[in-house]
Amino acid sequence: MAVTMRDIAQALGVSVVTVSKVMRDHADIGTHTRNRVLAKAKELNYRPNLTARSLVTGESRQVGVIVPTLLHPFFADVLEALSSTMKKSGYAVMISSSMEDPVIEEAAIEQLLGHRMDGLIIASCSTSPAKFQQLNEQDIPFVLIDRFFPGFRTNYVGVDDRVAGKMATEHLIAMGCKRIAHIRGLEFTTGVGRFEGYKQALKQHGIRFNPDLVSPYMTADGLDWQQSSIAMDNLLAGKPPDGVFCYNDPMAIAAIDVVLQAGLHIPRDIAFIGCDNLHYGASLKAPLSSMDHHSSEIGVRAAKMLLRLLKDKTSTAKRRVVLKPSLVIRESSQRRASKNKQPSHN
Amino acid sequence: MAVTMRDIAQALGVSVVTVSKVMRDHADIGTHTRNRVLAKAKELNYRPNLTARSLVTGESRQVGVIVPTLLHPFFADVLEALSSTMKKSGYAVMISSSMEDPVIEEAAIEQLLGHRMDGLIIASCSTSPAKFQQLNEQDIPFVLIDRFFPGFRTNYVGVDDRVAGKMATEHLIAMGCKRIAHIRGLEFTTGVGRFEGYKQALKQHGIRFNPDLVSPYMTADGLDWQQSSIAMDNLLAGKPPDGVFCYNDPMAIAAIDVVLQAGLHIPRDIAFIGCDNLHYGASLKAPLSSMDHHSSEIGVRAAKMLLRLLKDKTSTAKRRVVLKPSLVIRESSQRRASKNKQPSHN
DNA sequence: GACTGTCGCGCAAGCATTTTCGTTGAGATA
DNA sequence: TATCTCAACGAAAATGCTTGCGCGACAGTC
């Protein structure tokens, strides 16, 4: 079995308590004893049993993070930023993927909590806030990111999806598009928000909303781009649009492929804009305009918010950080000279 | 505080042992009692303390995974496949990023092991196998993926990088390239292997190796593409190559941008091939030929290998799985008619 | 020389579980 | 009636660590 504090204590003829105190840099141990313990610990390759420790202290100095997928660069960005922020404060981050499945998500929450994470950060793919309501009642510190539940008060960090949808659509309008289609995402807050922004923009600019130009919501089977291709096929089958706002960049890329395949020109025939501004966006056949969602800032803000919760367990007030997305214009939408062209990478 | 088995036991007037047995579906409890316990547990929102359990059982049914970065789609692929395989066998997966820093990597290993992971899967960014030697001595089950240490016997799953480099280079040769450059990656096994494959291919085809056509190894600062741009600039400054094999796709994309910016045509003036075959590869300005590294298969194989280790603790034999990469030809390298053109996505 | 501090260390209890080995009582068997 | 069996449950020890408190010893103070 693994070496324990007792092994060290016995080898040295001191008590376990002494060893424990040394391991945690406790003040009241003499230099001599301390050094002996340290030496022995190294010699025996001692590794503190953190589970035992957390059992008695009641905290693990670990936080759990659950995202719907690792494959989407947006979440990868968030996670990297989040991890490094947490690490700076001495917390380890345990990452788990729910694979876009609410059942797995709930299982992951239980797993993580069963292992006594001090707090959770979750980009939920669940359709109801029930689980999070429950977590609230149990006073478990957590913050939601990216997606949220309308009407459910909770700690949250994300961007304003409605604004993202509105800005994107308005950009297409500014570029002279008259017949603007929207390929929708999942029927969660993000997808719904962006869609509403789209409608709102049309309305404010006196363009009649045409349901034929909007794809159905996606199903969560991880085949975004495929569904997007089909949606684009359908759009081309009728009277084609002259501008398309896609739920996210991967879907935009898939749709663009279809359009290019059909021999049409981007942006002349159809202008495109996506969402999330992922890397390589500039290197695509049709360098993709997009809404930047400040992924790493989301990670940092979420981490800091959770750290605050962990520090101040008493406060029950819910905080809400909503970032404003920013427009990144590239060639895929640029039908007129624009004043604010962006540099390529990132 | 959280509700424990004792709370349930007291509320019901039974012993803790009884509750424990019910929680683990132990045979030895009557139906009536079992139901009462179950009901009470649900009522009180009881959540088993997995850390306490693992303290006494000595196993946590968790495995830890460490990758150098989440940002690279290759690792995201590996992780998704790995997680789902592990989950099927009842193991939870704790993911950690080392951010391409050996110090963080070692800290992560200690963290994970401190929390008593049953096993580890690691894509190491360390320069020496010392830590892993130590893990071996401590009989900790682990498998290395992607990168390995020459001469160090260990459980490993990866692809043959030398072959990847060779195949990629030979493809360029077959496409009629005479002056083939190589933009190198990090000075780890993967980078070194691909470089050696490159040299080997040249040699076998009677092309003299020209050091001017090879970039220095990258430094691990997470700015791959930037370093790649610079390398490409340098290549263009001299007598330009007519083919470039890049360490990986992101670097190829960056280099291609430089070439395109310089007004050259791909693949006519310069043919390109990358490595890793990442998504969107087909949707780029110059749809990128690449070596597919079977990322999800690596994940699955690594998971299965670790599961075997966990099952059969006694066996000390080291296993080694080396996958053969496959060539995916797209436009970026296609200067002659080719017989095996690939479909687009994935 | 009695008092007060401080320093260095250990005792015992406790954390939430599991595991081994009983114990109890009811019904079956002889 | 005495014995056996078996189902249903519990007592106690153990897991590796932390924490509150206490106890000597030694130095300094008046």
Tens digits of residue pLDDT in A116-125: 999 999 999 9
B247 Cβ contact list (under 8 Å, min separation 6): B182, B183, B184, B185, B186, B190, B191, B194, B218, B274, B275
For B285, which of A104, A279, A284 is closest by C-beta distance?
A284
Within 7 Å of a protein beta carbon, the nucleotides of strand D are: 7-12, 14-20
Closest residue by Cα to residue A69 from B198, B83, B2: B83
**3-state secondary structure string across B271-331:** EEEEECCCCCHHHECCCCEEEECCHHHHHHHHHHHHHHHHHCCCCCCCCEEEECCEEECCH
Rg of chain B (C-alpha set)? 26
B-chain CB neighbours of A84 within 8 Å are 99
Residue B158 has a CB neighbour count (10 Å cut-off) of: 23
* pTM of structure: 0.90
Residue A32 (CA) to nucleotide D27 (C1'), in angstroms, measures 20
Phi and psi angles of residue B98, each rounded to the nearest 5 degrees, phi first: -90, -5
Q: Give dist(CA B338, CA B118) in Å, integer.
A: 49
A321 Cβ contact list (under 8 Å, min separation 6): A156, A157, A158, A301, A305
Give the type of residue at A102: P
Provide the pairing of β-strand B62-67 with A326-328: unpaired
Residue A271 (CA) to nucleotide C21 (C1'), in angstroms, measures 77
Q: Give dist(CA A175, CA A200) in Å, integer.
A: 17
Strands laid side by side in the B326-328 sheet: B180-183, B243-246, B271-275, B289-292, B326-328
Closest residue by Cα to residue A335 from A169, A176, A113, A206: A176
A213 within 8 A of A142, measured Cβ to Cβ: no
Q: Is the pLDDT of residue B339 over 60?
A: no
Confidence of residue B47 (pLDDT cuts 50, 70, 90): very high
pLDDT < 70: residue spans in chain A: 1, 221-222, 336-346
* Secondary structure element (H or E) that encloses residue B156, with its range: strand B156-159
Q: Give the percent of chain B with pLDDT over 70.
A: 96
Q: Report the pLDDT value the prediction gives residue A278, as an integer from 0 to 100.
A: 85
Q: What digits encode the pLDDT tens for the residues B238-267?
A: 999 999 999 999 999 999 999 999 999 999
B19-26 long-range contacts (CB < 8 A, ≥24 apart) are B23/B48
A165 within 8 A of A183, measured Cβ to Cβ: no
Between helices A130-137 and A102-114, what is the axis angle to 10°? 20
For A55, which of B52, B58, B110 is closest by C-beta distance?
B52
Residue B168 (CA) to nucleotide D16 (C1'), in angstroms, measures 54
Q: What digits encode the pLDDT tens for the residues A284-297?
A: 888 999 999 999 99
